[in-house]
């Protein structure tokens, strides 16, 4: 297809979403998506720069990378841009002491952060920890602040586990926004600052970069608004209606990461 040549020409760097692109997670450990282990390996052997850009906030980068390596992926912690470390940077820069409504498995990312006498709330994909009691506590902390600050690790609507679709942090962020009458600061995709920090880490400019993800809004739309190109894979939380999304049109739709990498390695140089 000649058109792919035009769409992918000049790409020097690739941002890869993880969940739904590399693997489908579940409580046990997850399953690699067919062809993705080899596709990542091929990308890394190529001349293209590669960075993993995830909104995962249920696990620390260490735990996430450990799981992916067990599944056979060539990945290390330093190659991952994730919301929790990005949030820690903001907390430090702004002198914020968070009340944390997060999953226990990501808590270690906040080990160096002062959480005494909180003056903000950080919310992540807390999973089962999104109990009424925990949500109400976060709500009460916010309502007691003169200027309530809510930082959300991503704003995903849902993600897909092998057992089915699962509510992501976005809905809970909306719940607190509505109850408190505030607007959250989103750290993670589709925040432009988050994409830019991933690009800085590999020294590639947005026009020479492409995002590959399963989320038409968070991955594809977000990356395009930053001046990047973006492909949507038909794996993970992809739904057929995504190809006719009213607002976002990907630069291409591919069956899976393996097909995306085939096309990239064939056409990126043109």
Gyration radius of the chain over CA positions: 18
Short-list 245, 213, 249, CA closest to 232? 213
Task: Please state the closest distance from residue 126 (CB atom) to a second copy, in A.
Answer: 8
| 129 contributes a contact to a second copy by CB under 8 A | yes
In sequence order, the 6+-apart residues with CB closer than 8 A to the CB of 117 are: 97
- Residue 21 near residue 33, CB atoms below 8 Å: yes
In angstroms, give the least distance from the CB of 155 to a second copy.
9
In the chain, which ranges are continuous DSSP H helix? Answer: 2-8, 36-45, 61-70, 83-93, 132-144, 169-180, 192-202, 222-225, 257-267
Find the binder of a second copy among 34, 92, 143, 193 (CB under 8 A). 143
Q: Which range of residues in 27-35, 45-53, 83-91, 138-146 is near a second copy by CB under 8 A?
A: 138-146
Task: Quote the CA–CA distance of 81 and 170 in Å, as a whole number.
Answer: 19
Q: Which is nearer to a second copy, 127 or 227 (CB)?
A: 127
In the complex with a second copy, the residue whose CB is nearer, 115 or 136, is: 136
Q: How far is the CB of 130 from a second copy (least distance, A)?
A: 4
DSSP type of residue 118: -
Residue among 44, 54, 13, 65 at smallest CA distance from 156: 54
Report in angstroms how near the CB of residue 151 gets to a second copy at its nearest.
17
Specify the residue, 69 or 239, whose C-beta has the smaller distance to a second copy: 239
Calculate ∠ Cα 86-47-75, nearest 5°.
45
Nearest to 119 by CA among 88, 82, 145: 145
Q: 12, 44, 157, 225: which one contacts a second copy (CB under 8 A)?
A: 157
Q: Which is nearer to a second copy, 139 or 238 (CB)?
A: 139
Stretch that binds a second copy, among 29-37, 71-79, 129-137, 195-203 (CB under 8 A): 129-137
Instruction: Give the shortest CB-168-to-a second copy separation in angstroms.
Output: 7
Our finding on whether 162 is near a second copy (CB under 8 A) is no
CB burial of 108-131 (b: ≥16 within 10 Å; e: otherwise) equals ebbeeeeeeebbbbbbbbbbebbe
CB of 173 to a second copy, least distance (A): 8
Among 14, 18, 21, 135, binds a second copy (CB under 8 A): 135
Concatenating the DSSP letter of every residue in 126-173 gives: -GGG--HHHHHHHHHHHHHSSS--EEEE---SEEEETTEEEE-HHHHH
The binding track of 165-204 with respect to a second copy, each residue x by CB under 8 A or -, is: xxxx-xxx-xxxxxxxx-----------------------
Q: To the nearest whole angstrom, how small is the minimum distance from the Cβ of residue 192 to a second copy?
A: 21
* Nearer of residues 125 and 251 to a second copy, judged by Cβ: 125
Q: Which residues bind a second copy (CB under 8 A)?
A: 126-133, 135-136, 139-140, 143, 157-158, 164-168, 170-172, 174-181
């Amino acid at each position: 297809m000649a058109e792919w040549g035009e769409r992918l020409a000049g790409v020097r760097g690739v941002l890869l979403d993880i969940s739904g692109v590399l693997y489908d997670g579940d409580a046990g450990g997850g399953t690699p998506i067919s062809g993705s282990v080899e596709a990542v390996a091929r990308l890394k052997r190529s001349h293209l720069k590669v960075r993993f850009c995830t909104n995962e906030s249920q696990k620390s980068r260490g735990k996430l990378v450990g799981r992916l390596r067990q599944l056979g992926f060539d990945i290390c912690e330093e190659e991952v841009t994730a919301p929790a470390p990005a949030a820690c940077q903001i907390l430090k820069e702004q002198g914020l002491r968070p009340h944390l409504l997060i999953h226990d498995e990501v808590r270690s990312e906040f080990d160096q952060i002062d959480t005494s006498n909180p003056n903000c709330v950080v919310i992540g994909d807390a999973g089962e920890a999104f109990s009424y009691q925990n949500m109400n506590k976060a709500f009460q902390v916010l309502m007691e602040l003169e200027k309530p600050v809510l930082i959300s690790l991503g704003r995903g609507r849902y993600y897909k586990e092998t057992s089915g679709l699962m509510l992501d942090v976005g809905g809970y962020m909306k719940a607190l926004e509505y109850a408190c009458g505030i607007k959250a600061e989103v750290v993670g995709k589709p925040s432009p600052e988050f994409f830019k920090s991933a690009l800085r880490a590999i020294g590639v400019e947005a026009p020479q970069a492409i995002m590959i993800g399963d989320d038409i809004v968070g991955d594809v739309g977000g990356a395009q608004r930053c001046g990047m190109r973006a492909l949507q894979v038909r794996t993970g939380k992809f739904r057929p209606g995504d190809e006719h999304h009213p607002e976002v049109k990907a630069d291409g739709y591919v069956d899976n990461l393996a097909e995306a990498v085939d096309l990239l390695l064939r056409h990126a140089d043109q």
